Amino acid sequence: MKIPRLLQAVLVLLGVYFGFILLFDVILKQVIPSSLLNMYMFFVVAGVFMVFTFTEEGAKELLAPIKALVEDPNNKTNRNIVFIILPLLGGAYTYNKLLPSFDAPVELRTIHPAPPASLKAYGKRYDILNLENPYRKFEKEDPERFKELIAEGGAVYIRNCQYCHGDKLDGKGPYAQGLNPMPMNFQDVGTIAQLQESYLFWRIASGGPGLPKEASPWISSMPVWQDFLSEEEIWKVILYLYDYTGHRPRTWGEE
Amino acid sequence: MAGYKNIVNGDIRLMLGVLLLAVATHSPAKPGDAEQGEQIYSRRCVLCHSDEGDGLGPAAERLNPPPRDFTAGIYKIKTTGFDDMAPADEDIFRMIRDGMPGTAMPEWADVLSEQEIWDLVAYVKTFAGYEGEEPGEQLDYGEQIPSSPESIEKGKALYHDQDRCSECHGKDGKGNAVKRLKDDNGDRTWPRNQTKPWTFRASNDPKDIFTRITTGIPGTQMTSFAKPSSEKRLSIEERWHIANYVQSLAKIEQVVRAENTVVKAEKIDDDLPDSPDDPRWQATQPTTFFLVPQIIAKQRFFTPSNDTITVRALYSDTELAILLEWDDRTKSIPGNKLAEKISDADIGEDAVAIQLPIEIHDSMEKPYFGMGDANNPVNIWHWHSGTTETTEGISLLNSKGFKEIEKRDAATIGIHAKGLYTEGTWRVVMKRSLTTAESDKDLQFVSGKFIPIAFAAWDGSNSEKGSRHTMTTWYWLLLKPATGAKPIIAALLVIVVIFALLFFWARSRQPHRG
């Protein structure tokens, strides 16, 4: 049986529409904003219309069922139904569009902004590009010492960080749910595994307020740790973050 | 983590809880390997429970309750009889697997296998020398009495009879202390708020509650109500009734829902309510937020007692009123003998505050959530409960971060507040006119705009003063604009136009009849 052209066109449009939703919302897990979806669909509808009305017969065939509905006197009942439903749909759509929305505004922020070239802390200036963890070398040179340093970092962590980032470093600390944005999950491959130790030093020393504007410093609850911890303690806690999660810090060599 | 498990659907969780419990009590203890357990322990548990198992890890003094001291061999959650100090292996297993909500003890089921948890059980037992011991006998549950209005009614009577449970848990079960309680180590303990079952260390399934009443909560002042020597002793049947009653106290509507970030103020034509117990508040929609301790700046505070705050709002043509409601176990009145007995002599006033930006930016920019910043100042309306000498009051602060605070007179700006404490709950109404004379110093409220709003609370009996308090980060306040007739008129118009177009199209195409 041949599928009527009008139905074909509708099926193509529906296919594309749900294809988009499947691709973004389900596969990429990134809900597509409705404004973007509307824009895509506008072009798709225009394209489909052009393809289906490319030849005159094609256009005729496409519109035939509509013509028949409107013009054929035998279609009276169907016509009456369509004539009631269409205006109502239009009305309902208009009504919903004009209702004020009470959903909270969406706040987009950059999670990993570019770090500044240099950081001022502890009364000196750090050149972030060339900054290295002074304890990292002990990993090879003195494994015993290295283990002790990690344990000291662990103590810093459990006294200061676990409330938010969680004692499993999974971002689910006792108070995480009361904070927005949520504390970072260090187990996730998208956080410290992607970053250099110098980046972490900058983030930990300067906290939420140290972020640039695109990262919304005003909502980050990450404390400014240079107020509470020594420089050495920050480097040790960084060792602990990598040791507990099993991630390796990024280094220039890999890039 | 276990502390703030978010109960989205109480019933489902309850069912799950029952199921897990059933599984837990039916899966027999597997022999754990203490040596394996030691390995896991030294990686996952030492930072809190310490190498020696004495609970004196580096964070101990910042955690309330502190990590358990395994060398003492005392376990809070156990199903062995009250005369048996050692818990069953399954009890330890369950606490490690599920964690203890309301404490720093997290659930481990997400990162450890069952076998690893059994290994830990075996190792943890060695600290108290429990490893060789015969398993204790399970306590006697008799026959469970299912919950029913009659059973709950009986339970309620027993709960209050001789002040049996209400002595500590308060008349409405909110844990509003009339006594100063300590655990065996002298650390402050708070009786559980039974209207918030998501803070229970175990669960609020009647079988769990029955167990707690039967064994007591070892190491704390909640003793066994099954002991023959107990004056307030209860029979098995009576314990089931109380368990059913306690379960019925849950206030599921006070559960925090992550998606609710907007306090929506409805408009009313009357004058706004001045008092927290005005019946018109009942019709408003509550929004509940987590309170987290201030562990971010200045003098940090790690051991909070308040955990959530519920907010409602109403507005009129000229004014806005906000009702803040939060459970606080103690009415802290400096100078009052009873209040000082429950707490310390240097208690402070209870207090609550609302924070608002002075200016709302069209971009996303807001003041720093912790009292604003140099470029973006905030208004803080700070209510305090009063002492034996002074009455309650409200002050207004304009702040650009905690280092730059200007105190202003709330009365001249027209901010008013009224607080009321009943049975473990504070309710405070704050009111202000929508606009003020000093528009560069005060936020001017307009309807239809999303206004950032944040909250803070102080429990004066928990040494909360100054920067030591609980707080929220930014949420939203919306004065709901009247919908007006626009949408409905537009919709009708669209209907008429489409119909007319279709109608004329069809007519023009019809072969003319007759």
For residue A155, list chain B residues with Cβ-Cβ distance below 8 A. Answer: 47, 57-58
- If asked whether residues B303 and B399 sit together in one domain, one would say yes
For residue A80, list chain B residues with Cβ-Cβ distance below 8 A. Answer: none
Out of B366, B483, B506, closest to residue A79 by CB: B506
Is residue B46 situated within a structural domain?
yes
Is residue A109 situated within a structural domain?
no
Is residue A252 situated within a structural domain?
no
Is residue B13 situated within a structural domain?
no
Which one of A107, A158, A180 would you mutate to disrupt binding with B, by most B Cβ within 10 Å of its Cβ?
Answer: A158
- CA pair distance A48, A54, nearest whole angstrom: 10
Q: Provide the shortest C-alpha distance from residue A170 to chain B (in Å).
A: 9
Is residue A112 situated within a structural domain?
no
pLDDT value at position B514? 42
Q: Number of CB pairs < 8 Å for A and B?
A: 166
- If asked whether residues A127 and A36 sit together in one domain, one would say no
Nearest CA in chain B to A92: B491
Instruction: Match 């169907």 to its residue by tokens.
Output: A78
Q: Angle, to 10 degrees, between the axis of helix B486-509 and the axis of helix A56-71?
A: 100
For residue A180, list chain B residues with Cβ-Cβ distance below 8 A. Answer: 261, 473-474
Q: What is the CATH number of the domain that holds A239?
A: 1.10.760
- If asked whether residues B39 and B183 sit together in one domain, one would say no
Record: contact A223-B106, CB cut-off 8 A? no
Out of A87, A105, A157, closest to residue B495 by CB: A87
Record: contact B481-A100, CB cut-off 8 A? yes
Extended strands (E) in A19-78 = none
Is residue A104 situated within a structural domain?
no
Q: How many domains does chain A have?
A: 2
Q: In this structure, are residues B81 and B22 in contact, taking their beta carbons and an 8 Å threshold?
A: no
Out of A83, A100, A208, closest to residue B499 by CB: A83
pLDDT value at position B126? 95
Instruction: Match 């190792």 to its residue by tokens.
Output: B123
Record: contact A94-B510, CB cut-off 8 A? no
Q: Which residues 115-154 in chain A show a CB within 8 A of chain B? A: 154
pLDDT in tens, chain B (514 residues): 333 434 334 444 444 444 455 444 545 556 889 999 999 999 999 999 999 999 999 999 999 899 999 999 999 999 998 888 899 999 999 999 999 999 999 999 999 999 999 999 999 999 999 988 877 889 999 999 999 999 999 999 999 999 999 999 999 999 987 778 888 888 888 899 999 999 999 999 999 999 999 999 999 999 999 988 888 999 999 999 999 999 999 988 788 988 889 999 999 998 999 999 999 999 999 999 999 999 999 899 999 999 999 999 999 999 999 999 999 999 998 988 888 888 866 899 999 999 999 999 888 899 999 999 999 999 999 999 999 999 999 999 999 998 899 999 998 899 999 999 999 999 999 999 999 998 899 999 999 899 999 999 999 999 999 999 999 999 999 999 877 788 889 889 999 998 898 888 888 877 665 4
- If asked whether residues A92 and A129 sit together in one domain, one would say no
Query: Omega into A183 within 30° of 0, i.e. cis?
Result: no
For residue A224, list chain B residues with Cβ-Cβ distance below 8 A. Answer: 297
- Whether the CA torsion A191, A193, A195, A201 is positive or negative: it is positive
- If asked whether residues A69 and A33 sit together in one domain, one would say yes
- If asked whether residues A87 and A125 sit together in one domain, one would say no
pLDDT band at A102 (very low <50, low <70, confident <90, very high): confident
Q: Which two tokens stand for residue B508?
A: 């023009």
Extended strands (E) in chain A = 118-121, 124-127
Record: contact A218-B293, CB cut-off 8 A? no
Q: In this structure, are residues B97 and B27 in contact, taking their beta carbons and an 8 Å threshold?
A: no
Nearest CA in chain A to B3: A174
Helix (H, G, I), strand (E, B) or coil at A205: helix
For residue B65, list chain A residues with Cβ-Cβ distance below 8 A. Answer: none
Is residue B131 situated within a structural domain?
no
Record: contact B487-A94, CB cut-off 8 A? yes
User: What b-and-e string marks burial along B103-142, b requiring 16 or more CB atoms within 10 Å of the CB?
Assistant: bbbbbbeeebeeebbbbbbbbbbbbbebeeeeebeebeee
Write the pLDDT tens digit of every residue in A107-164: 889 999 999 999 999 999 999 989 999 999 999 999 999 999 999 999 999 999 999 9
Q: Does B376 touch chain A (CB under 8 A)?
A: yes
- If asked whether residues B351 and B467 sit together in one domain, one would say yes
pLDDT value at position A15? 92
For residue B499, list chain A residues with Cβ-Cβ distance below 8 A. Answer: 83, 86-87
- If asked whether residues A31 and A129 sit together in one domain, one would say no
- If asked whether residues B372 and B355 sit together in one domain, one would say yes
- CA pair distance B186, B61, nearest whole angstrom: 12
- If asked whether residues B274 and B379 sit together in one domain, one would say yes
pLDDT value at position A229? 97
Record: contact A177-B261, CB cut-off 8 A? no
Write the pLDDT tens digit of every residue in A75-97: 788 888 888 888 899 989 988 88
Q: In this structure, are residues B221 and B30 in contact, taking their beta carbons and an 8 Å threshold?
A: no
Is residue B33 situated within a structural domain?
yes
For residue A173, list chain B residues with Cβ-Cβ distance below 8 A. Answer: 1, 3
- If asked whether residues A174 and A213 sit together in one domain, one would say yes
- If asked whether residues B171 and B220 sit together in one domain, one would say yes
- If asked whether residues A185 and A75 sit together in one domain, one would say no
Q: In this structure, are residues B379 and B396 in contact, taking their beta carbons and an 8 Å threshold?
A: yes
Is residue B134 situated within a structural domain?
no
- If asked whether residues B273 and B380 sit together in one domain, one would say yes
Full domain range(s) for residue A229: 118-245
- If asked whether residues B451 and B321 sit together in one domain, one would say yes
Is residue A253 situated within a structural domain?
no
- If asked whether residues A145 and A230 sit together in one domain, one would say yes
Full domain range(s) for residue B120: 24-126
Q: Which residues 3-62 in chain A show a CB within 8 A of chain B? A: none
Q: Which residues 187-216 in chain B show a CB within 8 A of chain A? A: none
pLDDT value at position A253? 61
Q: In this structure, are residues B251 and B199 in contact, taking their beta carbons and an 8 Å threshold?
A: no
Is residue B501 situated within a structural domain?
no
Is residue A251 situated within a structural domain?
no
- If asked whether residues B307 and B208 sit together in one domain, one would say no
B298 HSE (CA, 13 A, CB side): 12
Q: In this structure, are residues B372 and B353 in contact, taking their beta carbons and an 8 Å threshold?
A: no
Helix (H, G, I), strand (E, B) or coil at A43: helix
- If asked whether residues B240 and B217 sit together in one domain, one would say yes
Among residues A38, A67, A98, the one where a domain terminates is A98
- Indicate the pairing of strand B262-267 with strand B475-479: parallel
- If asked whether residues B238 and B297 sit together in one domain, one would say no
- If asked whether residues A135 and A51 sit together in one domain, one would say no
Among residues A98, A133, A167, the one where a domain terminates is A98
For A52, left (φ over 0), alpha (ψ -120 to 50), or beta?
alpha
Among residues A48, A67, A98, the one where a domain terminates is A98
Got the DSSP string for B487-508?
HHHHHHHHHHHHHHHHHHHHHH
Record: contact B369-A159, CB cut-off 8 A? no
Record: contact A87-B494, CB cut-off 8 A? yes
- If asked whether residues A122 and A38 sit together in one domain, one would say no
Q: What is the CATH number of the domain that holds B466?
A: 2.60.40.1190
Q: How many domains does chain B have?
A: 3
Q: Does B175 touch chain A (CB under 8 A)?
A: no
Q: Which residue has the higher pLDDT, A210 or A3?
A: A210
Record: contact A87-B376, CB cut-off 8 A? no
Record: contact B58-A158, CB cut-off 8 A? yes
- If asked whether residues B34 and B95 sit together in one domain, one would say yes
Is residue B139 situated within a structural domain?
no
Nearest Cα neighbor of B330 from B429, B188, B456 is B188
Q: What is the ipTM of this complex?
A: 0.87
Supply angle C-alpha B433, B435, B441, rounded to 5: 110
Q: In this structure, are residues B124 and B41 in contact, taking their beta carbons and an 8 Å threshold?
A: yes
Record: contact A95-B2, CB cut-off 8 A? no
Is residue B497 situated within a structural domain?
no
pLDDT value at position B28? 54
Report yes or no on whether pTM surpasses 0.80: yes
Record: contact B261-A104, CB cut-off 8 A? yes
Record: contact B491-A94, CB cut-off 8 A? yes
- CA pair distance A252, A129, nearest whole angstrom: 9
Q: What is the CATH number of the domain that holds B182?
A: 1.10.760.10
Nearest CA in chain A to B376: A218
Is residue A237 situated within a structural domain?
yes
Which one of A75, A94, A229 would you mutate to disrupt binding with B, by most B Cβ within 10 Å of its Cβ?
Answer: A94
Nearest CA in chain A to B288: A178
- If asked whether residues A47 and A158 sit together in one domain, one would say no
Out of A98, A105, A173, closest to residue B486 by CB: A98
- If asked whether residues A44 and A129 sit together in one domain, one would say no
Mean pLDDT of chain A: 90
Is residue A89 situated within a structural domain?
yes
